[in-house]
């Protein structure tokens, strides 16, 4: 035995049961995401949403992408993808930090409906 997943269950009943359990957990987490949209938690809304999203991503990575297996090549591919996503996020946030704020003079901002006279004409 090399420890590369030879002892994992191979019968259809076990595989189907595990897949259905993971699918059920993903459905419950998706319903929790929808219900969370209607609960006013203030600043905790974002943290709760990100927590649910991280749980869903972990379930998908472990069970559907088979990252639970001790195969070194699978784990290397998973780590490389996380590293690449982290690199893209870092570049995106660095780009956002170099942009001028919208309150800087000369920045075009849209007018609100109450800012112009009530003539019924569009404001440009």
- How confident is the model over 59-84, as pLDDT tens digits? 998 888 877 777 888 888 888 988 99
Q: Are 26 and 56 in contact (CB under 8 A)?
A: yes
pTM for this structure? 0.61
Instruction: Report residue 33 CA to chain centroid gap.
Output: 11
Within-domain flag for 30: yes
Q: Is the pLDDT of residue 117 over 80?
A: no
One domain for residues 60 and 77? no
One domain for residues 50 and 83? no
pLDDT in the model for residue 48 = 93
Within-domain flag for 90: yes
One domain for residues 60 and 12? yes
- At residue 52, what are phi and psi to the nearest 5 degrees? -65, -40
Burial bucket for residue 2 (CB in 10 Å: 0-12, 13-18, 19+): exposed
Within-domain flag for 121: no
For residue 25, the enclosing domain spans: 8-64
Within-domain flag for 94: yes
pLDDT in the model for residue 21 = 93
Q: Are 74 and 61 in contact (CB under 8 A)?
A: no
Within-domain flag for 117: no
One domain for residues 74 and 91? yes
Spatial distance between the Cα atoms of 110 and 36, rounded to a whole number of angstroms: 31
- At residue 82, what are phi and psi to the nearest 5 degrees? -65, -40
End-to-end CA distance of the chain: give it in Å, rounded: 73
The domain total for the chain is 2
The candidate with the shortest Cα–Cα distance to 52, out of 25, 78, 79, is 25
One domain for residues 90 and 48? no
One domain for residues 40 and 74? no
């Amino acid at each position: 035995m090399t420890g590369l997943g030879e002892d994992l269950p191979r019968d259809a009943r076990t595989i189907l049961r595990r897949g259905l359990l993971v699918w059920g957990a993903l459905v419950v987490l998706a319903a929790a995401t929808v219900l969370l949209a209607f609960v006013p938690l203030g600043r905790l809304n974002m943290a709760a949403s990100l927590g649910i999203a991280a749980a869903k991503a972990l379930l998908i990575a472990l069970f559907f992408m088979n990252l639970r297996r001790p195969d070194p090549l699978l784990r290397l591919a998973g780590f490389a993808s996380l590293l690449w996503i982290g690199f893209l996020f870092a570049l995106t946030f660095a780009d956002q930090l170099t942009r001028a704020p919208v309150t800087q003079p000369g920045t075009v901002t849209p007018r609100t409906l109450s800012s112009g006279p009530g003539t019924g004409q569009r404001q440009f």
